[in-house]
Amino acid sequence: MTEKTDGSRAKSADNDRTMMARCIALSAAAIEQGELPFAGLVCRGDKVIAQATNEVVQGGDITRHAELVAISKAQKVLGQKELAGCTLYSNIEPCAMCAFAARETRIERVVFSIRSPMMGGLSKWNVLRDSELSSAMPEVFGPVPEVIGGFMREDAEKIWESWHPLIWAAIKRRGYLDGEDADPALEHLHAIPERHSLIRKIFALHRHGPSLLRKFRL
């Protein structure tokens, strides 16, 4: 049993490295598109469902963060709102806005490289790990996801440094992203299982009720 568990963990870690390497490469491509080097992937296991860079400059829309664009694309690909069983990869810690979207779509895991102490949905606002969201509003927010932070951080930082060395140095010095005194250790926070409360069951029945009635009528 232990060997199987260890093997499963090793496979998951290898998959995370593959997906994050793809995400970091995508962040480099964002620079060529005139965007800041942000990128996000939504995956299920070893399958990439959707990927995106920031589209803030191209779309003239400050809400077009890479994670939000990737989540929206994934919903369209799967034909559903919820992304349970999926992992969100980002080269930068998702901001609070993107973290709320991850929680509302019930994403199971979030893996990111560079921490965001001033804007992060974990480091600053803790949206990703707030268990009160899902306990108070289980019909809206999914359970607390597994979070891995600081994953392949040095690789991700190289892209930002190549984009503009002086600006990247200033960003780190001011502590916007990581910082000169940032903890290099990998942060791994396990998921908190969902409690199947009565209110969650009631809302689930309400949401799926019309489709069930149609089946019975047939």
Q: Which two tokens stand for residue 145?
A: 């996801």
Q: Are strands 187-189 and 146-149 parallel, antiparallel or unpaired?
A: antiparallel
- Residues with catalytic function: 67
Amino acid at 130: D
- H helices present in the chain, as ranges: 2-32, 56-59, 66-78, 96-104, 131-136, 153-163, 165-174, 198-217
Give CA–CA dist 136/95, Å, rounded: 22
Strands of the sheet containing 187-189, edge to edge, are 47-53, 39-44, 87-92, 109-114, 146-149, 187-189
